Structure 1
Amino acid sequence: MDTWKDAFWLAKMEWKKSWIGIFSLFFILLAIAVMYTVVWNDGDQLPSIFIDIAFLLLFGLVPYMIRSKELQYQKVDGEIWGSPFFMMLNTLPIDKEVLMKSRLVQALFPGLPFQLLFLILFSPMLLESMDILEYIAFMLIWLVFGVASAFTYAASDVGDRITPMMLLVWSIIIYGGVTLILVWFYVKTDTGIVGLSMEAAKAFPIWSMAVSGVIAVSGYYYCKHYMVKKMKKIDYLK
């Protein structure tokens, strides 16, 4: 319990540095909610691609982007990439377990509460076509997507050695892969990613919740394992 308490204390230091981004996230959320509410009340429906982009940004990217510059993943020195702030902390006499848990806490908050609020704001609209159990399953699907994204950012904070060629290859894989997946969805389906997640929640609510739970727990332990391995491998003092 003490390690989690210390981890929250470390994370609070970073939240204070990112307060502008946190307020920005709130206004982004508010703007999206107002836009969707106006469109919904007018009886119109946004194209699925706009809905998907909003969800993917809010649950996958925006919580990371609100972090201040020194907390973000970036080139630190030579071929070392990671979070400069984390690397500084790792040279101090701080328990490694506390450091790792602070990464998880910092990555999950404040994004997770805003993501939950986002889903609650849209519950009246979506509950018109879903029952409570199905909507809870839908919420868990997207919250776990947000958690998985947060764990990815937390793990990347630890740092790694990345050559220019590796950076190019991974950029092509990530951005190219996301583009191909989106194109496939809009060519093969009429519902888009969010629509498909709604269909999954409707058809298999219990399974959707169970799989989401397994992914969240597995992601937590994998993230910790990855961070331990990288922290032992990288010499942060070079």
Structure 2
Amino acid sequence: MDHWKQAFWLVKFELKKSITAIGLLLLMAISASYFFSEFYVFYRDTGIIFYELAFLMVFGIAAIWAKPKEFQYQKINDETWGLPLFMTLSQLPIKREALINSRFLIYYFYSIPLHLLILISVYTLTPALRESMDIPSFLVFSLIWLSFGVSVGSIFPAVDAGDYITLLKSTIQTIPLFFGIVVALVLIQMGTENGIVAWTMIAATEWPFQSIVGSVLIVRLSTVFWKRKMKQKIQKVDYFS
């Protein structure tokens, strides 16, 4: 259990240095809540893809934007990217498990409150959404998207360990991924007449038990997977070069 004590100490240290992030997170929550509430009826009636893209971005990657620059993934040298703080801490007598757990905990401290605030605000501010889902269904819907945020967001603490990557390689990986997501959203919409957000609402209402079990299972598997990837990156990257 010592590594958990160390992990929470590291989390506390970083969060104390990240007070400005609270303001950014609140601003993001207000902006996202307004957008999702204001355009929900339009999305329900038209299935506009942009609404779904915004949902995926907010619950997938937005929380990382609030982190202060010194705590963000960045270029270290010509081919090495990572988190400078992590590379420094890795050279100190701190248990590896503590370092790894601290990165995941810090991301969750950013993302989960943000996502909860957005979900609660949108449900409260949107009468049409409350008509579509009662409170139990909304709670399941929220769990689905919180699990999505944790599962996708776990990528970010994993890459903090560093990697050898070039701008070309990053571009080659990112652009096809983005267009692949857009194409997938369009195909789902065309093939089923419902988008991702609408389907998660249906799942929360029609199959709540399966949705809860699936969400918990996905979170568990993704966390184990990305922690394992992070350990591999630690062994791969030379922090002393």
- Cα RMSD (Å) of the superposition? 2.3
* CA 167–38 in structure 1, closer or farther in 2 if over 3 Å, else same: closer
**Aligned letter for 2:75?**
K
Output the CA distance in 1 between the equivalents of 2:81 and 2:2.
Answer: 30
Q: Deviations over 1:27-57 (max 9, x none)?
A: 22123334555677xxx54564454244223
Residues 18 and 66 in structure 1, CA contact (< 8 A), matched pair in contact too: no
Unaligned ranges ≥5, structure 1: none
Q: Could you tell me how far 1:207 is from its partner in structure 2?
A: 0.7
Q: For residue 90 of structure 1, what is the aligned residue in structure 2?
A: 90
- Greater shift in the superposed pair: 93-102 or 24-33: 24-33
The 3-state SS of whatever aligns with 1:110 is: helix
Report whether the alignment pairs 1:80 with 2:80.
Answer: yes
Equivalent residue of 1:81, what SS? strand
1:88-119, Cα deviation, whole Å (9 max, x unpaired): 21122211111001011111112201211221
Going from structure 1 to structure 2, the CA distance change for 1:75 and 1:35 (only over 3 Å counts) comes to closer
Q: In structure 1, what is the Cα distance between the partners aligned to 2:205 and 2:34?
A: 26
Determine if the alignment matches structure 1 residue 180 to structure 2 residue 183.
Answer: yes
Task: Tell me whether 109-118 or 158-167 shows the greater mean CA deviation.
Answer: 158-167
Distance of 1:39 and 1:145 partners within structure 2: 22
Tell me: CA distance 1:175–1:45, structure 2 relative to 1, closer, same or farther (3 Å): closer
The answer to whether the 8 A contact 2:25-2:66 is kept is yes
Q: The residue matched to 2:154 in structure 1 has which SS?
A: helix
Q: Take 2:19 and 2:152, find their aligned partners in 1: how far apart are those partners?
A: 21
Return the alpha-carbon distance in structure 1 between the equivalents of residues 151 and 37 of structure 2.
28
Give the direction of change, closer, same or farther, for the CA distance of 1:51–1:172 in structure 2 (3 Å limit). closer
Task: Name the TM-score, length of structure 1 as normaliser.
Answer: 0.87
How big is each residue's C-alpha offset from its partner over 1:46-81, in whole Å with a ceiling of 9 and x where there is no partner? 564454244223211210111112222222112111
**1:217 equivalent in structure 2:** 220
1:151 aligns with 2:154: yes
1:151-201 superposed Cα distances (whole Å, 9 cap, x missing partner): 110111111112454323212332222232233344445443211211122
TM-score, length basis structure 2: 0.86
Q: What corresponds to 2:15 in structure 1? A: 15
Name the SS for the 2:131 alignment partner: coil
8 Å Cα contact 2:3/2:98 also seen in 1? yes
1:76, 1:59 → 2: CA distance? 28
Q: What CA distance in whole angstroms lies between the structure 2 residues aligned with 1:153 and 1:38? A: 30
Aligned match of 1:2? 2
**Which sits farther off after the overlay, 127-136 or 77-86?**
127-136
Question: Are the counterparts in 2 of residues 59 and 143 from structure 1 also a CA contact under 8 Å?
Answer: yes
Given the superposition, is the C-alpha separation of residues 131 and 67 from structure 1 closer, same or farther in structure 2, using an over 3 Å criterion? same
Match of 1:100 in 2: 100
Query: More displaced, 9-18 or 148-157?
Result: 9-18
CA contact (8 A) 1:25 1:62 kept: no
Aligned positions of 1:155-234 closer than 5 A: 155-234=158-237
Please tell me whether the aligned partners of residues 104 and 150 of structure 1 are also in contact (alpha carbons under 8 angstroms): no
Decide whether the 8 Å contact of 1:29 with 1:118 is kept in 2: yes
Preserved contact between residue 80 and residue 162 of structure 1 (Cα < 8 Å)? yes
Cα distance in 1 for partners of 2:224, 2:205 equals: 29
Unaligned runs of 5+ in 2: none
TM-superposed CA distance for 1:205, in Å, is: 1.2
The whole-number CA distance in structure 1 between the counterparts of 2:228 and 2:234 is: 10
Q: Among the aligned pairs, what percent are the same residue?
A: 38
